[in-house]
Amino acid sequence: MADALEAHKLQLVSLHGPTSRDVSAMRESAMPLSICEVERVRDAAFSTLEHLILHAHHAGVTVCIENTTSEMGDPNYLRAFVDETRLTGLRFNFDIGHAYLSDFQEDERIEKSFAPLHDLVSSVHLHDNHGEKDEHLPPYDGTIDWPAAIKVLKSAPQSNVPLVLELKERTGPEAPAAAEQIAAAKRALDRFEETWT
Ligand SMILES: [Zn+2]
């Protein structure tokens, strides 16, 4: 991967961990944990993260956990988890699209989701949706109020937090060509940067 990044003059700022369970029929492993068993999952998350943070620190990598729409991905839950476990070194990746799917009143969703995490946010995922499902659209293609959202993001105490577009490729007969989707993403990012600066 390092070679490919160099060949395309790309810098790796953020890498998503796998989002599905690490299970394989060919591999010997313990039974997967049920997501219903929050306490057991929490303990497993703690010991995994404790190890990961240690190794990542030696490699100069910051481990971030991300807000999602699940019970354990709720910003208040994540904050309590970090405070209670005292996993120093653990940071947050603020996902703005997921925040916009939270249960708060529409115009407060991003601000209220950002508040518990703000001082430990080390990276941001940018994408848009219509407040109903996780669409991963380019900014301005959904209903997020981007000028207001930018104000919230800029309230973070740390400057130069990497902002990463996290888009889903549209597929199927109706979908524009990949090059066109990338061009649209670039236009969205340019518009975003205009408001940002
Ligand atoms: Zn994300």
The secondary structure element, H or E, covering residue 18 is none
pLDDT, greater one: 52 or 24 = 52
CA of 40 to the centre of ligand 1 (A): 24
Q: What share of the chain has pLDDT > 90, as a percent?
A: 69
> What per-residue confidence (pLDDT) applies to 190?
95
Expressed in angstroms and rounded, the spacing between residue 106 Cα and the centre of ligand 1 is 19
Task: Enter the CATH code of domain 31-168.
Answer: 3.20.20.150
Distance 94 CA to ligand 1 centre (A): 8
Of 82, 78, 81, 84, whose CA–CA distance to 98 is shortest? 78
27 backbone φψ class: left, alpha, beta (φ>0; ψ -120 to 50): beta
pLDDT tier at 42 (50, 70, 90 boundaries)?
A: confident
Domain ranges within the chain, ordered by starting residue: 31-168
Residue 34: what pLDDT? 56
Q: Which of 80, 189, 190, 61 is nearest to 137 (CA)?
A: 189
Q: How far apart are CA 92 and CA 157, in angstroms?
A: 13
Q: Ligand 1 centroid to 58 CA: how many Å?
A: 25
Q: Are 168 and 97 in contact (CB under 8 A)?
A: no
**For residue 166, how far is its CA from the centre of ligand 1 (angstroms)?**
6
- Which stretch of DSSP H or E encloses residue 75? helix 75-85
Tens of pLDDT, residues 122-181 = 999 999 999 999 999 999 999 999 999 999 999 998 888 999 999 999 899 999 999 999
124 strand-pairing partners: 94, 163
CA of 101 to the centre of ligand 1 (A): 12
Reply yes or no on whether the pLDDT at 62 is more than 60. yes
Residue-level pLDDT at 9: 87
Greater confidence (107 vs 1) lies with 107
pLDDT in tens, 14-26: 888 766 655 555 5
- pLDDT on residue 17: 76
